[in-house]
Amino acid sequence: MSGEFDFIQTYLSDRQMNRKDVHLSLGDDCAIVKAPENVRIALSTDTLVAGTHFLANANPAWIAHKALASNLSDLAAMGATPAWVSLALTLPTIDEPWVKSFCDAFFELANYYHIQLIGGDTTKGPLSITLTVQGFVPEDNALTRDGAQIGDWIYVTGQLGDSRAGLEVILDENQRHKPFASELEKRHYLASPRILVGQALLDLASAAIDISDGLIADLGHILHRSEVGASLNVEDLPCSKELLDFCYSSRVAQQYALSSGEEYELCFTVPEENRGSIESALAHTGTLVTCIGQVRTQGIFEVLHHGKPVDWQLSGYDHFKA
Amino acid sequence: MSGEFDFIQTYLSDRQMNRKDVHLSLGDDCAIVKAPENVRIALSTDTLVAGTHFLANANPAWIAHKALASNLSDLAAMGATPAWVSLALTLPTIDEPWVKSFCDAFFELANYYHIQLIGGDTTKGPLSITLTVQGFVPEDNALTRDGAQIGDWIYVTGQLGDSRAGLEVILDENQRHKPFASELEKRHYLASPRILVGQALLDLASAAIDISDGLIADLGHILHRSEVGASLNVEDLPCSKELLDFCYSSRVAQQYALSSGEEYELCFTVPEENRGSIESALAHTGTLVTCIGQVRTQGIFEVLHHGKPVDWQLSGYDHFKA
């Protein structure tokens, strides 16, 4: 590789169908795009840094998937339809097999969601990836964090806790002998952004967020913005069979489910009157959803095990916390 | 500082007027914005990495200015009106004075151009900054690289070469004794994005680019995309008095002007029939523009000194080149 112009030509050009709303993509000073009328644009930016969000020697295909999936998950949490992405890739050196594997996985996921790469930058430096995704939401109908009302039911998609178990396997070789260690490692990287669920929830949910910092922390953002409280029933938390085997204990698995970050499942609240519609509205998504608690008045935050408060020490995930 | 939520609260919130087209900015999963009808969106992403684009111990205000100005320069090169920016900031640690100085300079420049911070991410890792800026261009009227025609005149804004001289001062202490060394160092960081010029050129220029890799390399992009050639007159290159003094020679200064990257001046081509309108169209911008050559047939690339070819070895700037 002789330079970044070749980089675009070799790895990024001609990997995608051209969306009709993209008038100019790679190769000029800017991309030129146009959003349809009657929609608003939802935008999210995420950075993944080697050593912080993944190990530098991780499978590059998994890194690419995680980077794009985690960013798409933010669109999912707003109920948005993905459209465009820009990729800023910082690499210490151009390792051709690494870059090929990264780009193959990136475009596989991008093409699945019909999202077009419209811009980017490749620079030399410590390995990191910053993505900015954009999608469309109907005017005045995005899922936000501030709409939860007392009495609403609290749901999550999928199963929780696998990502933390996978992270432990990644960070500690001694965890590799545990049941399903390799499978959980893979799940840590290969989350499915809940795009279809988010879209289906636009008319049903009162608030939503994606679980990137851990259920407790992210639900906390909904509660804070909505000025309400909550009670959660830990026996209802959806945990995978693999997690239960890995943890050797349902109690530990439940603790993982409450605190595991980078799950990229959705947590959302649903008013009583919409509860009956959830199942049919989400049937086409093929995604499990589970009611795990209820919205309470502000100041209440109960984590209950068969109705009794638990005294577990739990916290969310924060890169800058000690 | 305890975490990234506090980071947003402390450094990023309440620093700006809310644009009417921003419906939701920081603090949810996504920002929500809406472009006016009858415009298209121009988007550019740039990463600046410590050690590659600036020294880690550089003035944080200058780093912030350079990051945003270089990104805005891409909008300028399309003739776009800036609107929104997202900031992904990766920091090894939160050094409060550093972050305050960085953010103060960032918002000073952002507010000058009425561009609103709508999203971002703060992560822990080696110092780097990725910005994605968006602006508006009229439908079917952006400045692109592919419209230069044989006979068009080649112009540049401002003065060229200062950035390279400044970079030499930054990288080599021995250069500090040279005339205007400190002033040139400052100019390396504190370029002015040519937003007003770009807008004024929308109906006049046939092609445009901003000079980030060096005049030769960036003009080369216009020539390649437009399938034309060029001749340049080095005696017409606009060099500052400070650069001439720093270089002790007009010939060396001209070489700097041809190859200096990260200038963030515009290079643009103007058809003969629009040449007379340039001066009045740009009068309100207060920006010097200079005609430095003419577009020729494809295959010709002449660098002339009073009509005679020069034999200087020149190249553009490419982070991945050896």
pLDDT tens per residue, range B194-203? 999 999 999 9
The reply to whether A129 touches chain B by the CB within 8 Å rule is no
DSSP A141: -
| Count, residues in chain B | 322
Both B178 and B278 in one domain: the answer is: yes
Please give the average per-residue pLDDT across A203-210, as a whole number.
95
Both B169 and B239 in one domain: the answer is: yes
Taking the C-alpha atoms of residue A243 and residue A256, their distance in angstroms, rounded to an integer, is: 9
pLDDT band at A6 (very low <50, low <70, confident <90, very high): confident
* Residues of chain B with C-beta less than 8 angstroms from the C-beta of A137: 32
**Has A213 been labeled as part of a binding site?**
yes
Q: What is the pLDDT of residues A68-114, one digit of tens each?
A: 999 999 999 999 999 999 999 999 998 999 999 999 999 999 999 99
Both A103 and A20 in one domain: the answer is: yes
**Residue A308: predicted pLDDT:** 93
**Residue A247: predicted pLDDT:** 94
Does residue A134 register a pLDDT over 90?
yes
Question: Quick check: B320 and A118 CB within 8 A?
Answer: no
**Residue B315: predicted pLDDT:** 56
Both B52 and B196 in one domain: the answer is: no
- Average pLDDT over chain A, rounded to whole? 91
Q: Is residue B242 part of a domain?
A: yes
Beta strands, E only, chain A: 22-24, 31-33, 39-49, 81-91, 116-124, 128-138, 153-157, 207-210, 229-233, 266-270, 289-296, 301-305, 308-309
Both A104 and A158 in one domain: the answer is: no
What range does the domain containing B184 cover?
153-309
Both B241 and B123 in one domain: the answer is: no
Interface of B with A in 206-265 (CB under 8 A): 208-210, 225
Both B167 and B208 in one domain: the answer is: yes
Does residue B4 register a pLDDT over 90?
no
Q: Is residue B288 part of a domain?
A: yes
Q: What is the pLDDT of residues A12-36, one digit of tens each?
A: 878 888 899 999 888 788 999 999 9
Interface of A with B in 255-314 (CB under 8 A): none
pLDDT over 90, % of chain A: 81
Q: Tell me the CA end-to-end span of chain B in Å, nearest whole number.
A: 40
Q: What is the pLDDT of residues B228-276, one digit of tens each?
A: 999 999 999 999 999 999 999 999 999 999 999 999 999 999 999 999 9
Q: Which residue of A has its CA nearest to B5?
A: A318
Both A176 and A300 in one domain: the answer is: yes
Report the complex ipTM: 0.88
Domain endpoint, select from A80, A109, A138? A138
Nearest-CA distance A29 → chain B (Å): 5
Question: Quick check: B47 and A75 CB within 8 A?
Answer: no
**Residue A140: predicted pLDDT:** 83
Number of domains chain B contains: 2
Q: Is residue B243 part of a domain?
A: yes
What CATH number does the domain containing B162 carry?
3.90.650.10
Nearest-CA distance A250 → chain B (Å): 30
Q: Is residue B145 part of a domain?
A: no
Q: What is the pLDDT of residues A245-272, one digit of tens each?
A: 999 999 999 999 999 999 999 999 999 9
Taking the C-alpha atoms of residue B73 and residue B262, their distance in angstroms, rounded to an integer, is: 10
Residue type, B163: S
Both B176 and B305 in one domain: the answer is: yes
Contact A224, A208 (CB under 8 A): no
Which two tokens mark B105? 């300079």
Question: Quick check: A145 and B28 CB within 8 A?
Answer: yes
Q: What is the pLDDT of residues B117-154, one digit of tens each?
A: 998 889 999 999 999 999 999 998 888 899 999 999 99
pLDDT band at B281 (very low <50, low <70, confident <90, very high): very high
**Has A210 been labeled as part of a binding site?**
yes
Residue type, A54: F
Which whole-number Å values give the CA distances from B250 to B99, B177, B264, B307, in the listed order? 40, 19, 22, 17
Both A204 and A178 in one domain: the answer is: yes
